């Protein structure tokens, strides 16, 4: 069976170490067995160690706001993961699921400090792995559930849509009504007595056929612009409904994740209580029994 130093030499990250440094690091790291179908850690768990894969396969993933499973990486032999929490001592940024059983080296913060002291150029490999996962995250997560419908629709409007919105807004305002009332009043005054026989009057005598035609054409044109604006409003409402659905789904999934976390903690608490009960029972069984004496000395 190969020693830990020999296993370290098989990993590209540690292959450049001198034999003395490799032996010193091998004495500190732990060799762990990865069982298929188990989860090494969940996103948000405290992070105090990193894993260097020797064999098997580990899936690094997390769930986005809508519950979709986002796979960042399939860690195989030679890969490492969990270094972000090890570097900043923060919680885990993703979950690790063992897809195929194997072995891995468990490196804690002290091991990493010793390793980087001996081999400082290896920090570039750690940064490269972190950058690779950040690029993958940026590629997968282009949009979030919290979007502003006004910004999305406003930025995508064409010139016709902008004109339709402006005309629809203006046609429903009081200035539009006052302007038309003034135009109609002047039109009628100029085409009735006594201004009918003047130079500026009499161009559309009663029953004002020209005015009727102009009003009809205006109504047709305005109705088209209003319909265009309404169609865009329907599209905005559809986007708003999608956003509301995504937000509700996000809230529901967060509650489900909390319940799942509580169930996991409850199961872990139950297992620990069982261990304590068994340990307490074992201690009680080996404890000496007190002997009771009767008055007659027996």
pLDDT tens for each residue of 151-204: 555 556 777 777 887 888 888 888 888 988 888 888 888 888 887 777 777 787
Angle at which helix 19-28 crosses helix 109-118, to 10 degrees, equals 170
pLDDT of residue 154: 54
Residue 51: the pLDDT is 86
Q: What is the pLDDT of residue 149?
A: 53
Task: Please list, in sequence order, all residues whose beta carbon lies within 8 angstroms of the beta carbon of residue 205, skipping any fewer than 6 positions away.
Answer: 191, 196
Of 244 and 289, the one with more pLDDT = 244
CATH 2.60.120.10, applies to 4-140: yes
* pLDDT (mean) for 114-139: 67
What spatial distance separates the first Cα and last Cα of the chain, rounded to whole Å? Answer: 63
- Whether the bond between 192 and the residue before it is cis, its omega within 30 degrees of 0, is no
Please report the pLDDT score of residue 58 as a whole number. 92
Note the pLDDT tens digit of each residue in 31-52: 889 999 898 888 888 877 888 8
Whole-angstrom distance, CA of residue 285 vs CA of residue 287: 6
292 confidence band (pLDDT: 50, 70, 90): very low
Contacts of residue 292, defined as CB under 8 A and 6 or more positions apart, other chains included, come to none
Beta carbons of 81 and 60 less than 8 angstroms apart: yes
Angle in degrees, CA 219, 225, 227, rounded to 5: 95
* Region 6-30 average pLDDT: 70
């Amino acid at each position: 069976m190969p020693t830990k130093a020999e296993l370290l030499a098989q990993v590209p990250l540690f292959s450049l170490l001198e034999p003395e440094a490799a032996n010193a690091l091998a004495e500190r790291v732990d060799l762990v067995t990865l069982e298929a179908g188990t989860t090494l850690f969940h996103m948000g768990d405290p992070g105090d160690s990193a894993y260097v894969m020797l064999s098997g396969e580990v899936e690094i993933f997390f769930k986005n706001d809508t519950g979709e499973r986002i796979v960042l990486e399939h860690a195989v032999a030679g890969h490492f993961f969990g270094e972000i929490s090890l570097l900043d001592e923060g919680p885990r940024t993703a979950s690790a699921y063992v897809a195929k059983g194997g072995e891995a080296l468990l490196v804690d913060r002290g091991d990493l400090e010793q390793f980087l002291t001996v081999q400082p150029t290896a920090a570039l490999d750690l940064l490269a792995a972190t950058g690779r996962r950040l690029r993958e995250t940026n590629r997968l997560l282009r949009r979030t559930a919290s979007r502003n419908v006004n910004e999305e629709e406003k930025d995508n409007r064409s010139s016709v849509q902008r004109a339709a919105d402006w005309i629809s807004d203006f046609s429903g305002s009081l200035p539009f009504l006052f302007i038309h009332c003034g135009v109609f009043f002047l039109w009628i005054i100029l085409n009735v007595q006594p201004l009918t026989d003047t130079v500026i009057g009499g161009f559309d005598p009663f029953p004002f056929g020209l005015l009727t035609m102009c009003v009809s054409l205006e109504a047709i044109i305005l109705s088209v612009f209003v319909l265009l604006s309404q169609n865009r409003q329907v599209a905005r409402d559809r986007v708003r409904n999608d956003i509301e659905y995504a937000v509700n789904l996000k809230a529901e999934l967060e509650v489900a994740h909390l319940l799942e976390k509580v169930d996991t903690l409850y199961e872990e608490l139950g297992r620990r209580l069982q261990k304590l009960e068994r340990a307490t029972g074992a201690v009680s069984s080996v404890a000496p029994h007190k002997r009771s004496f009767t008055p007659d000395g027996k």
